[in-house]
Structure 1
Amino acid sequence: MLESLSNNVTALLPEYVLTLVGVIIMLVEPLLPAGKSRRSLGWFAVLGTLITTGLTLWQLHLGILNAFSDSIRVDAYSVFFQVVICFVVVVSLLSSLDFLDGKNSHAGEYYALSCFAAVGMMLMCCSTELLMVFIGLEISSISTYIMAGYRKTEATATESSLKYFLLGSFATAFFLYGIALTFGATGSTNINVVANVITNTNTPVLAIVAVAMIIIGIGFKVSAAPFHVWTPDVYQGAPPPVVGMMSTAPKAAAFAVLLRVLFSGYAIYQPRWSILMAVIATLSMCIGNLGALLQRDVKRMLAYSSIAHAGYLICAFTALPTDGIAAAAVYSAAYAAMNVGAFTVITLISGYKETVRTGEDYTGMALRHPVLGASLSFFLLSMIGIPFTGGFFAKFYVFTGVLHAGHVKLAIIGLANSGVACYYYLRLIIRLYSTPQPNEPTSGSFTAAGRPDTLFTEEDGRRFPGYIALAAAVIATLVLGVWPGRFVATARTAAIATAPAGDATQNTVNDPAALR
């Protein structure tokens, strides 16, 4: 009894700590005077998330932890994705400190919601019980719905939050219906039990419908086509640091769930669901990249870009189990680093009112602020897949796994879409380093005469946390591109922890020793 209680506490200790941090912030925030800065609460949230990261890494030394009647499993796989989520939350919180400071008296609620969202996402990563996954999904979703509409005085923010809520609820209904059908087909909602039942018995067509419903539900959450319609409007209306978090961390958690469900629970049906995943990947890459070509608003462009990147990642689902899981894990981490970094730059540039929106507003920004310009260019190059960046290695690893599984046409489609993406990424980079014309109207960082506005003359000390966040994202993206070997070894260890028993791909050409 005591051992069981100990496992239950240890397995979810990081989540307990982060929940406590969020509750403390919620209790303290109303006690502060209306005009007093809430910046200290933000630093407390950052500290709490860092402690949570340390506790999560500490769990690796304890081996595999099964808790709450095998509904929670803490292993290398769950820890990998949880660390990615914590990294994104820390970067988002740091970039939010100056963004929110002095703008309103409810910043504490934002920091608390960030912690609660992280708790939900971390719970999703370690759950092997679909109902526990649903609970984690709801905790995460409700928090991000509110955060998307945080700027209540902005009509676009309200629209963003409402659309996100309505379509997110619609997606949740699909996911919940998939859980119900899974129970009807197998008599259980535990992924391990489901895998055992469908492997050893003749299961009805209901199980196939169930996995299709789950894929549809998760497809909404990761903004994969054709379930992507909410993405551009929500990204455009939500605050930049919120978009940076919700475009990366919830996706990492959702993909962690989908990888475990498909490769572990429904592995026997891979020949069937891999066809569906290939179709979704193709649609996402094509619709995302073609849609981005038409966008003037930078956040909308990155929204369509995120749809395309979801497609690249979904390609990994067509690979052999260990290759596919490891490639998806690597891509999740690389995309999280470069995308949250890009939105950190946008946060530092545009400010609370978002005076910088279109590509034209970014004209000459790198000439006036070389650090921000170079950082944004670096992240955009990584999204293209230029060598020595995390994006290059992530795409290389995914397409290698796809080719190793024999899906040559899908790899060609992915590479062709990467070529299309070069146009709109390079178009923005050219804008960054172009000299504004004297008669060119500007509404953002620079005047027509080329003089910097107040955004770049304020004290750098106030924006120092944002630069820390930016440096962390740059370093992570660079390390993933230059020294990927150890990271790939970690990803493959995580993949082996959740791949089907007897998977024969553990010693393939993707061996990390060959990539060091």
Structure 2
Amino acid sequence: MSARVPGLLAQEFFAPEVEWWHLSPIFALVGGALFLLVVGALTPTWPRNLYAAVTVVSASLAGAFAMFNWDQVTDDGPSTLVSRALAFDTFAQYLTITVCAATVLVALVTADELRRADRDGPEIYAMFLIAATGAVVMGAANDLIVLFLGLETLSLALYVLAASDRRREASQEAGIKYFVLGGFASAFFLYGIALVYGGTQSTNIGEIVEFFQGNIALEGQDSIVLAGLALLIVGLGFKVAAVPFHVWTPDVYQGSPTNVTAFMASVGKAGAFAAMLRVLVVALPFYRDDWRPAIWVLAVLSLVVGSVLAVVQTDVKRMLAYSSISHAGFILVGVEAAGHDAGEPVAGDGMPSVLTYLLLYSVLTVGSFAVVALVGRSSGGDTSLEAFKGLGRRRPVLALGLTVFLLAQAGVPLTSGFVAKWGVIQAAVEAESYAIAIIAMLAAAIAAYLYLRIMVNSWLEAGDDSVEHEAVPLASGFAVLLAAAFTIVIGVWPNWLLDAADTVTQYAR
């Protein structure tokens, strides 16, 4: 006989109310992943590109649901979901759209890569959708524990994806390096959450803000929260590949399959920066004078180190890896600018500029790595500068697409990259952070040499005529076309996107 604890059974359990429609983007991504895993395991091999089609449909549905939710947030205002565990605001919907757009493009590139390598199957696509779900949860998290769950969902999927090419030792090495260093970063982040909880008695972002609004922190409590803040910045600094937490990036980007590298550089970075904004700007605005100098230093180091080291590389994948570190520095410029107005009734341009940069850079980097993957296919996996020589003569359309992406990454006007860089620098100037704005412009000038170097090799250098001229696969070509068209359209007509981004400062907590 089991003992009965008096009063225990009399206590009522009140389940949180679940707003099913508001969670529809997450359900679409999770549903697509489960469908691929379950149905894919119980049926024979599917026809060509059907796994990718399911992934594209799932991510597109999630993005469409986010747009519908955006309209509802605009009409009714921001709110919270599932007992304040998730935020229902334009910030979350904007991030969801960014993640879904990148996932669609990566799925199109992956379809050709896996089919050519005779590795087509549902597992890789399911991992993409699971990682995308983690990134969406990170952007919508209104609780530090929920944010950590989203972070681990994203990270674990990326570890598997990095090591997914079992035929290449470089891929296995990349997965191990990412897993070991990522585990340390997650430990720092989790310990930071514990210390913040110790100082505020809550992990809910709204309750943390309310605690600081209604209490004067004692000296001991203040030290605990500051220590937790420092550990949170270390964990997030690793995830966004900011210097000096960038050491994993070049090796992991180069060793991973190129389609996975594109996914890490887009979805992984978008989710990590969304989490950084939620933690620093939304949850801890009262400590902005403490975390802004740290972000300033990370931004400057990332801008300088990323730009300078990218120039001396000879492998294009490794160049783009260091370039992504430099881009992380630009995004951190926007985060630092957002810190000046954190917690104020009228927010500045920091947060909108960061989210705009994330969307534009996600499309840019997927397009860039898609071209790298196609060039590597023709050269037996070689992605050095030598492999790009004569690309303009062999494949002029592909070289033209690469040129568009490189010009955009350099910040040339009439491209989306100019809109992105102009946004974060303008936000820094409006926040009177003139020094970091000047450093960012100098770093952009240095990085321009990198992109020009690749373009010169593609158009002006003579290539090896013995290289096989393969036709560009349909799915990858379509992904490059979509990314290039978006890059040019936003560069010429950016106002509608900038107006949409201006609403992200009305966040829920």
Give the structure-1-normalised TM-score. Answer: 0.89
CA distance in 1, matches of 2:428, 2:491: 20
- 1:214 equivalent in alignment to 2:232: yes
Checking the alignment, whether the CA contact within 8 Å between 1:99 and 1:352 is kept in structure 2 is: no
2:294 corresponds in structure 1 to: 276
How far has the Cα of 1:93 moved from its partner? Answer: 0.1
1:467 corresponds in structure 2 to: 477
CA distance in 1, matches of 2:107, 2:366: 11
For residues 7 and 57 of structure 1, do their structure 2 counterparts lie closer, same or farther at Cα, with a shift above 3 Å needed?
A: farther
- 1:159 equivalent in alignment to 2:173: yes
For residues 108 and 353 of structure 1, do their structure 2 counterparts lie closer, same or farther at Cα, with a shift above 3 Å needed?
A: farther
- 1:26 equivalent in alignment to 2:37: yes
C-alpha deviations, 1:59-115, integer Å up to 9, x for none?
Answer: 123223421110111211100011000000000000111110152345210011111
For residues 480 and 368 of structure 1, do their structure 2 counterparts lie closer, same or farther at Cα, with a shift above 3 Å needed?
A: same
2:11 corresponds in structure 1 to: none
How far has the Cα of 1:299 moved from its partner? Answer: 0.5
Checking the alignment, whether the CA contact within 8 Å between 2:135 and 2:150 is kept in structure 1 is: yes
C-alpha deviations, 1:29-79, integer Å up to 9, x for none?
Answer: 234446x65621121111111111111111123223421110111211100
- 1:168 equivalent in alignment to 2:182: yes
Question: Matches of residues 257-268 of structure 1 in structure 2 within 5 Å?
Answer: 257-268=275-286
1:103 corresponds in structure 2 to: 117
How far has the Cα of 1:200 moved from its partner? Answer: 2.8
1:511 corresponds in structure 2 to: none
1:386 corresponds in structure 2 to: 412
Which of the numbers 323, 326, 334 marks the counterpart of 1:308?
326
Which of the numbers 356, 376, 379 marks the counterpart of 1:350?
376
CA distance in 2, matches of 1:5, 1:42: 35
The letter of the residue matching 1:205 is S
The letter of the residue matching 1:487 is L
- 1:41 equivalent in alignment to 2:51: yes
- 1:135 equivalent in alignment to 2:153: no
1:200 corresponds in structure 2 to: 214
2:20 corresponds in structure 1 to: 9
Give the SS at the match of 1:228.
coil
Which of the numbers 455, 480, 493 marks the counterpart of 2:470?
455
Which of the numbers 341, 353, 370 marks the counterpart of 1:327?
353
CA distance in 2, matches of 1:49, 1:326: 23
Checking the alignment, whether the CA contact within 8 Å between 1:356 and 1:362 is kept in structure 2 is: no
Checking the alignment, whether the CA contact within 8 Å between 1:38 and 1:107 is kept in structure 2 is: no
Identity of aligned residues (%): 32
How far has the Cα of 1:11 moved from its partner? Answer: 2.5
Checking the alignment, whether the CA contact within 8 Å between 1:220 and 1:227 is kept in structure 2 is: yes
CA distance in 1, matches of 2:34, 2:24: 15
Checking the alignment, whether the CA contact within 8 Å between 2:25 and 2:62 is kept in structure 1 is: yes
For residues 336 and 105 of structure 1, do their structure 2 counterparts lie closer, same or farther at Cα, with a shift above 3 Å needed?
A: closer
Checking the alignment, whether the CA contact within 8 Å between 1:278 and 1:410 is kept in structure 2 is: yes
Unaligned stretches of 5+ residues in structure 1: 437-445, 501-516
Give the SS at the match of 2:87.
strand
Which of the numbers 53, 69, 73 marks the counterpart of 2:83?
69
- 1:232 equivalent in alignment to 2:250: yes
CA distance in 1, matches of 2:169, 2:260: 16
Checking the alignment, whether the CA contact within 8 Å between 1:11 and 1:65 is kept in structure 2 is: no
CA distance in 2, matches of 1:464, 1:284: 37
How far has the Cα of 1:10 moved from its partner? Answer: 2.1
1:480 corresponds in structure 2 to: 490
Give the SS at the match of 2:19.
helix
Give the structure-2-normalised TM-score. Answer: 0.91
Checking the alignment, whether the CA contact within 8 Å between 2:378 and 2:470 is kept in structure 1 is: no
CA distance in 2, matches of 1:234, 1:306: 12
Length, aligned pairs only:
480
CA distance in 1, matches of 2:71, 2:195: 37
Give the SS at the match of 1:423.
helix
For residues 5 and 476 of structure 1, do their structure 2 counterparts lie closer, same or farther at Cα, with a shift above 3 Å needed?
A: farther
Higher mean Cα deviation, 115-124 or 468-477? 468-477
CA distance in 1, matches of 2:301, 2:479: 33
